[in-house]
Structure 1
Amino acid sequence: MQNWYCYAKTVAEQVAWKVAGERRLDLVVVNPVLTLGPLLQPTLNASTAHVLKYLTGSAATYVNAAQAYVDVRDAAEAHIRVYEAPEAEGRHICAESTLHRGEVVRILAKLFPEYPIPTRCKDEVNPPKKGYRFTNKKLMDLGIQFIPVTQCLFETVKSLQEKALLPVVSCISDD
C-alpha cells in the first residue's frame, strides 16, 4: 500500500516484541491512532494537517476512507496509566472512535460553518468505506475516559486558530 509511516510503526513494534522476548523483558505497548487535539508546538504536524485541509478550501472533496481518532491528552494519559499499572500487559489500542471522513467533515461543518468545508466525497460511486474494528477496553479498564472525537475536533481547530495556523473567519453575514 506504500503507507510507509504505518509500515515503519508496525515493523518497529514487531522488532520490539522480538527483542523483548530474546532478552526476557516485559513489554507493554500503547498504539495510538491518528492523534488530534491542542497543539503544544507552534507548527503544524501531519495529523493536524489531516483536519486543516478541510478547513482551508485546499480539499474540494473528502476521500472515501475511515480513520480512528484519539485526543493527544488521552494518548499521553494512556502511556502513564500503562507505565504505572503493574498488571498492564500486551498491546493497548489507544482510540476513541472510528469515523468515515464524511462524518468528520459534517462535524467540522456543524462546529465551524464559516469555513469552506467540502460536502462531496471524491468517490461517489462506491459505498462508504468501513473502519477497522478495535477495542479500547484494556485502557478503559485502567481508568481512561476518552475525550469524545467531536470535542477533540473542536479543540484541534481552536488550537489551530490560537497558533495562527488557521485564520479566524467571521460567520456573521451581510444579509
Structure 2
Amino acid sequence: MQFVHIDDLASAHIFLMECPQATGRYICSSDDTTIHTLSKFLSNRFPEFPIPTDVLDEMEEEEPLHFSSQKLLNLGFKFEFGLEEMFDDAIKCCKQKGFL
C-alpha cells in the first residue's frame, strides 16, 4: 500500500508544473507499508480507535510492494510528511468535522 500526504501531493503537482525538466508520469508516494504493519501502527498511535484485526490474523503477512518515487526525487522534490503526520492530520480533520 502506498501513501502520500495530500499537502505533499499538491506540492508535487506544483513542483512538476514549474520544473522545465519534468516530462511524463511520476509516482508520488512517500511511504509504503502492508495492511498488517498499518493496523499495528494505527492501533498503537490511536488506541482510542480500535482496529479490528481478526481478519488479519487469518491472512498471511506479505512484503510491501515498492513503487519508486525516485524519478520525482531526482528532480529535487522533497517529501515533507511521513505516515505519522498523514494519519495525525487525517484524524484531526475528521474530529474537527465531527466524523469521529
With normalisation by structure 1, the TM-score equals: 0.51
SS in 2 for 1:129: coil
Q: Unaligned regions of 5+ residues in structure 2, if any?
A: none
| Distance in 1 (alpha carbons) for counterparts of 2:61 and 2:44 | 20
Cα RMSD (Å): 1.7
| Distance in 2 (alpha carbons) for counterparts of 1:114 and 1:70 | 24
Count of residue pairs the alignment pairs up? 99
Q: Choose between structure 1 and 2 for higher RCO, CA contacts under 8 A separated by at least 6 residues.
A: 2
Q: Which has the larger radius of gyration?
A: 1
Runs of 4+ in 1 over 4 A off after TM superposition: none
Report the equivalent of 1:145: 79
CA 106–139 in structure 1, closer or farther in 2 if over 3 Å, else same: same
SS in 1 for 2:2: strand
Structure with greater proportional helix content:
2
Task: Determine if contact 1:77/1:144 at 8 Å carries over to the other structure.
Answer: no
Report the equivalent of 1:159: 93
| Distance in 2 (alpha carbons) for counterparts of 1:152 and 1:108 | 11
Q: Percent same amino acid among aligned pairs?
A: 29
User: Which of residues 52, 55, 64 in structure 2 aligns to 1:131?
Assistant: 64
Report the equivalent of 1:85: 19
Displacement of 1:123 in angstroms is 5.9
Report the equivalent of 1:115: 49
| Distance in 2 (alpha carbons) for counterparts of 1:103 and 1:154 | 17
Task: Determine if contact 1:102/1:121 at 8 Å carries over to the other structure.
Answer: no
Structure with greater proportional strand content:
1
